[in-house]
Structure 1
Amino acid sequence: MNISSFDELLLAARQQAEPQRLLMVFVGASLGEEASQAERAAFEQGAGGEITPLMCVDKCVTELSDFASLAGEADTMAQAWVLVFAGAIAAAAEAREVDTALRKLVESVRVGQVQSLAVFNREGQAVMLR
């Protein structure tokens, strides 16, 4: 399935036979002190940099109306976020399972193992990381 926006992900999650809970990690971006001039210029244009998890959240798809609402809520907690990484788990999962999955998700983002996650920018559009 080709997902091009968070709202498409939300729609796809709602269409699953088993109710879903989305797990999300909001990240900020920064440059290391050793960044070159080219890296700094690219960063100023919105490319490159190092990502840092700022906060994580889990929500049943029934709790989400659209990306704009989620982004507004996130802005009240972590205004510096630039991307959100998303995965899913069964909504029936126990709280302990959800907490474990969230911790693993944050660690995966922290170490850059994000191939299985959907990534969205502040406008809710899917992005490809290089």
Structure 2
Amino acid sequence: MNINTYQDLIALAEEQPEPQRLLFVFSKAELPEDATPAQKKAFEQGEGGVLNPVICVDRTPEEVRDFTTLVSESEQTGHDWDIAFVAAMSGRGGMPPTSEECLQPLKMMMQQIQSGMISRFLAFSRQGELVQLN
């Protein structure tokens, strides 16, 4: 199954043989301090910049069936964000991973995002649209 929407992600997670926990890292597009004039101009037009993680959470697919639920929850933190990166973590023995088991993978996700290594994650806009980042 191809993932083209957030609902596809949830459906695929629920179809897995072991219960899943979804890992979310919310990132804000920002201009680097040492940006060139060309980079500044591109950023003002909605292009370029760097994505800095601002929030990370783990949830079961059942807890976040609808993307608006996830957005509402994120708004309660007071942190603004532009892109939500998502990965899934499989449980074992019929049990989903615990939040404690997700801490290290979430930290690794944040480090990879800060390093620009984002190809292994799904990325969703604040409107819940799947986006391709280069």
Assess same fold via TM > 0.5: yes
1:1-130 equivalence runs, <5 A: 1-91=1-91, 92-130=96-134
What runs of 5+ residues in structure 2 fail to find an aligned partner? none
Kept after mapping to 2: 8 A contact 1:86/1:117: yes
Percent of aligned positions with the same letter in both sequences?
A: 35
1:33–1:105 distance in 2 versus 1, CA, 3 Å = closer
Q: Tell me the alpha carbon deviations over residues 32-86 of structure 1, each in whole angstroms, 9 at most, x when there is no partner.
A: 2332343223222322111111010000111112101101111221442000100
SS in 1 for 2:117: coil
- Unmatched segments (≥5 aa) in structure 1: none
1:77 counterpart SS class:
coil
| TM value normalised by structure 1 | 0.88
CA distance in 1, matches of 2:107, 2:57: 10
Aligned-partner Cα distance in 1 for 2:69–2:100: 27
Q: Which stretches of structure 1, 4 residues or longer, exceed 6 Å deviation after superposition?
A: none
What RMSD over aligned residues (CA atoms) do the two structures have, in Å? 1.7
Letter in 1 for 2:2: N
TM-score, normalised via structure 2 length: 0.86
Q: Which residue type is aligned with residue 4 of structure 1?
A: N
Query: 8 Å contact 1:55–1:78 — kept in the other structure?
Result: no
Change beyond 3 A, Cα 1:46–1:6: farther
Instruction: Provide the aligned length of Structure 1 versus Structure 2.
Output: 130
Q: Distance in 2 between matches of 1:122 and 1:22?
A: 17
CA contact (8 A) 1:6 1:126 kept: yes
Q: Is the 8 Å Cα contact of residues 26 and 55 (structure 2) preserved in structure 1?
A: yes
Q: 1: CA distance between counterparts of 2:86 and 2:44?
A: 25
Given that 1:54 and 1:78 are in contact with CA atoms closer than 8 Å, whether structure 2 keeps it comes out as no
